[in-house]
Amino acid sequence: AKNGKKVSTVKPKRRPKSKEVERPSKGRSGPTKKGFLIVRQKGSKVQCVVAESKENHVSVDMVKFVRQLNRESFVDVIGYVVLPKDHVTGATQQVEIQVRKVYCVNSALQMLPLYVEDAARSEADIQAGKPGANQDTRLNFRVIDLRTPTNQGIFSIQSWIQIGWRECLLRKGFIEIHSPKLLAGSSEGGSAVFRLDYKGQPACLAQSPQLHKQMAICADFERVFEVGAVYRAEDSFTHRHLCEFIGLDVEMAIHKHYSEIMDLVGELFPFIFNKINENCQKELEAIRKQYPFQPLKFLPKTLKLTFAEGIQMLKEAGVQADPLGDLNTETERKLGELVREKYDTEFYILHRYPSAVRPFYTMPCADDPNYSNSFDVFIRGEEIISGAQRVHDPELLTEQAKRFGIDVETIKTYIDSFRYGAPPHGGFGVGLERVVMLFCGLNNIRKTSLFSRDPLRLAP
Ligand code: ATP
Ligand code: MG
Ligand code: MG
Ligand code: MG
């Protein structure tokens, strides 16, 4: 016991620490003798008690000072770690800090536009009448919003995905590259391009690292990957599209068959999922508390179906889908449900897509040009990856680009790369925010983007 007080101490430790004040509860204990602070550091919180005491050199003024601190202020607290007075003896982490000194390093505003507790509220609590915060307010004041345990968890998981991604690929002989984001022509075609003026020359932001990662293969790098920003001027406002996202990309020379690329996906992602499960239990728990979800079901050997098999499964379930068209969000989800029921997995590959719905650089199937050596990969019935073998013949590539309405002059250096000697190759692209969103069963990609960019949002 320290200073004759009736508290059982757990190895009294002096611990100066920088912390943030979350909610100094005012007036919780009688007149001016005591004040409380809840300090938060990353995900953890601890209660601090400031009690007037001559021996501890804690004055009444100090107690008053603590009581009027604004929530979310940044403080340094010096004190002893103790077990609370009313605590039953036994092992516990329910410690509190008996404060000797508090410094307010930087005060927050008295009234904040958003409080962490409101941003952290679960749907169930909101329905039970507790105050919440709407998505726009949360995104407008994202700096505060990001302090919730859920958000701390989401971005920790995002980081672990990149660790798993790099670890697995580096081990397999890939090297990490960075392709240019300012381009003369669009890499994917279509209207979703941000156009800009490049010193008087028309240019655009890269819709993917596609062209240059392929050019790296032409340059003998053999196996490359990239983690970088991707820009798409999406004009629809959906739960899974951003105007800027983080693309995880792979490109590799292939020896015999495009299945080599799918085999890599089939191994890489279970590796990443296991990585998350091994390292992020606390984070997953925090997210689940606010947004309940079931753990992702995936098989050690990733399931692979053909597009035609998928269409057939849908047909048998009474859902019409064009065998030469693309799936839409609804048919993707439906197929996801059917696959889960039949194969007990929520992660699978669908390959041999119709050529008409794939980008111009996609290799058609040798046995039927209506289909292509391409694939999509799904988590919980939504696309996270598109991949394919690429056309390495410059004449066919030119012909396909023209057919897709692309001005071949703007991608001349790309097409020419295949005239200087190029191996058969292929690869895939993944949206990082989408992987986090779907792994955690979240309903909106804005939740997994640090500072999201969508058709209506360019700030913060
Ligand atoms: P979708 O069908 O959802 O529009 P896509 O087929 O147009 O996606 P791809 O060009 O295949 O997308 O890009 C590869 C991956 O990049 C997608 O599987 C997805 O994970 C991610 N992605 C694509 N567009 C976006 C976007 N606007 N916002 C966030 N992620 C995206
Ligand atoms: Mg799209
Ligand atoms: Mg798609
Ligand atoms: Mg796609």
Write the pLDDT tens digit of every residue in 16-36: 444 455 544 444 445 568 999
Catalytic residue among 20, 72, 383, 433: 383
Among 155, 149, 8, 11, which residue's Cα sits nearest to residue 87?
8
Among 414, 424, 456, which residue's Cα sits nearest to residue 189?
414
What is the rounded distance in angstroms from the CA atom of residue 19 to the CA atom of residue 76?
6
State the pLDDT at residue 253. 98
What is the rounded distance in angstroms from the CA atom of residue 205 to the CA atom of residue 183?
6
Distance 349 CA to ligand 3 centre (A): 13
Give the Cβ contact number of residue 20 at 10 Å: 21
Q: At what angle do helices 329-343 and 307-316 cross, to 10 degrees?
A: 90
Q: Is 232 a catalytic residue?
A: yes
The residue whose C-alpha atom lies closest to atom 31 belonging to ligand 1 is: 431
CA of 242, closest atom in ligand 1: 28
Structure tokens given for 78: 């010096």
Distance 431 CA to ligand 2 centre (A): 11
State the pLDDT at residue 194. 96
Q: Give me the CATH code for the 8-106 domain, please.
A: 2.40.50.140
Structure tokens given for 143: 């700096």
State the pLDDT at residue 43. 74
State the pLDDT at residue 171. 98
Which residues does the chain have with pLDDT short of 70? Answer: 1-32, 85-93
State the pLDDT at residue 4. 35
Backbone φ, ψ for residue 40 (5° rounding): -125, 135
Catalytic residue among 240, 352, 380, 392: 240
State the pLDDT at residue 13. 40
What is the CB < 6 Å shell around ligand 1?
Answer: 188, 232, 234, 240-242, 245, 383-386, 429-431, 433-434, 445
Contact 122, 289 (CB under 8 A): yes
Structure tokens given for 343: 């194969």
Catalytic residue among 52, 167, 222, 234: 234
Structure tokens given for 410: 């703007």
The residue whose C-alpha atom lies closest to atom 10 belonging to ligand 1 is: 386
What is the rounded distance in angstroms from the CA atom of residue 367 to the CA atom of residue 358?
17
Among 83, 67, 70, 71, which residue's Cα sits nearest to residue 8?
83
Distance 357 CA to ligand 4 centre (A): 9
What ipTM does the predicted assembly reach? 0.99
State the pLDDT at residue 188. 79
Contact 352, 306 (CB under 8 A): yes
Q: Is 352 a catalytic residue?
A: no
Catalytic residue among 390, 434, 446, 453: 434
Fold of 149-448: BirA Bifunctional Protein; domain 2 (3.30.930)
State the pLDDT at residue 240. 97
Contact 102, 37 (CB under 8 A): yes
Give the Cβ contact number of residue 108 at 10 Å: 16
Catalytic residue among 40, 166, 241, 457: 241
Q: Per-residue pLDDT tens for 411-440?
A: 999 999 999 999 999 999 999 999 999 999
Q: Is 386 a catalytic residue?
A: yes
The residue whose C-alpha atom lies closest to atom 3 belonging to ligand 1 is: 383
Give the Cβ contact number of residue 229 at 10 Å: 13
Q: Is 240 a catalytic residue?
A: yes
Spans of all domains in the chain: 8-106, 116-145, 149-448
Q: What is the largest CA-CA distance in the chain?
A: 89
CA of 234, closest atom in ligand 1: 27
Distance 359 CA to ligand 4 centre (A): 9
Q: How far apart are the first and last CA of the chain?
A: 50
Name residues whose C-beta falls within 8 Å of residue 448's C-beta, 6 or more positions apart in sequence.
Answer: 154, 158, 433, 434, 436, 437, 440, 442
Among 388, 347, 430, which residue's Cα sits nearest to residue 261?
388
Q: Which ligand is nearest to the CA of 208?
A: 1
What is the rounded distance in angstroms from the CA atom of residue 309 to the CA atom of residue 388?
18
The residue whose C-alpha atom lies closest to atom 30 belonging to ligand 1 is: 431
Distance 354 CA to ligand 1 centre (A): 17
What is the rounded distance in angstroms from the CA atom of residue 107 to the CA atom of residue 265?
49
Structure tokens given for 151: 């958000």
Neighbours of ion ligand 3 (CB under 5 A): 383
CA of 326, closest atom in ligand 1: 2
Give the Cβ contact number of residue 399 at 10 Å: 14
Q: Is 138 a catalytic residue?
A: no
